[in-house]
Structure 1
Amino acid sequence: MPTDSEVACFEAGIKFGTLYHQFTGTPVDRESAPGLERAMEEAIENQPHCVEASVTIREDRLDDAIDPAIGYTELRGPLMDAEITVVYEGITARTRMELEEGYPRMRVERVERE
């Protein structure tokens, strides 16, 4: 049987899978980015055991990615940073996704008992 800590980390991984794969490809520009950030946060927070989600579409990367001919780009992992906190059976898993060496790396930051 997995430990409560392992389940909490697994749950966080599920949330990142949803965040990354559900929203990748969404058309985004500077005006729509804040609304898309909120929509992603709310969608992830609706999932079981998630107590907090924070998504930032990085304006500096977004500006570089926007195709001037059409005025927008498709959301991709390297354009966003995210933090997700999951609580399961008194265990808190704090996780993060951020660009590392050109790749959006998802990792567990801390696991602690409340």
Structure 2
Amino acid sequence: MAPDSDPNSTPTDAEAACFEAGIKFGSLYHQFAGTPISPESAPSLATAIEESIENQPHCTEVTVDVRDDELAAALAEATADYTELTGRFLEVEIIVEYEGCEVVTRMEMEDGYPLMRLESVRGRE
């Protein structure tokens, strides 16, 4: 904590919006990791993820893209016609609106890891 920060201060609306976005990503990743996925089920699974997360408070939009090339590569090495969903198969954007603040977050593979990051914060502080 910074020396001059007040530990009893109320979070700003932008901070609260960022927190809400983090909750959405935690829910998304841990709810769906391990779900069986195949090329045939990928589109419906992406839609289910989007619709599920969009149900949460302050979430205005979720876009899930399955990385078909990664899925095909994993299945080429598998003995089954499906594999388990992990972050390496997904690119996700989540938009949260809270009290006039819009937060855009994204999950993409970076250096072999599904990195979740804050892209932008718009609106009042």
Q: Does 2:18 correspond to 1:9?
A: yes
2:57 aligned partner:
48
**The one of 76, 97, 105 aligned to 1:87:** 97
RMSD, aligned CA: 1.0
CA deviations over 1:9-43 (Å, ceiling 9, x no partner):
00000000011000000000000000000000000
Whether 1:65 and 2:100 are equivalent positions in the alignment is: no
**Gaps spanning 5+ residues in structure 1: where?**
none
- Name the SS for the 1:48 alignment partner: coil
d(CA) in 2 for partners of 1:78, 1:10: 24
CA positional deviation for 1:78 = 1.0
Give the Cα separation in 1 of the matches to 2:58 and 2:51.
13
What per-residue deviation string (whole Å, max 9, x for no partner) do you get for residues 34-81 of structure 1? 000000000000000000000011000001112542111000011101
Query: For this pair of structures, how many residues does the alignment match?
Result: 114
TM-score by length of 1: 0.97
Q: Who wins on radius of gyration, i.e. which is larger?
A: 2
Residue from 103, 114, 119 that aligns with 1:104: 114
Identity %: 58
- Give the aligned partner of residue 7 of structure 2: none
Q: Which residue in the other structure is 2:6 paired with? A: none
Moved over 4 A (4+): none
TM-score (norm 2): 0.89
Q: Where does residue 33 of structure 1 map in the other structure?
A: 42
- Uncovered stretches (5+) of structure 2, i.e. residues with no partner: 1-9
Question: Hey, what's the Cα distance between the residues in 1 that align with 2:21 and 2:78?
Answer: 36
Query: 1-side partners of 2:78 and 2:93: how far apart?
Result: 30
Between the aligned partners of 1:73 and 1:35, the Cα distance in structure 2 is 15
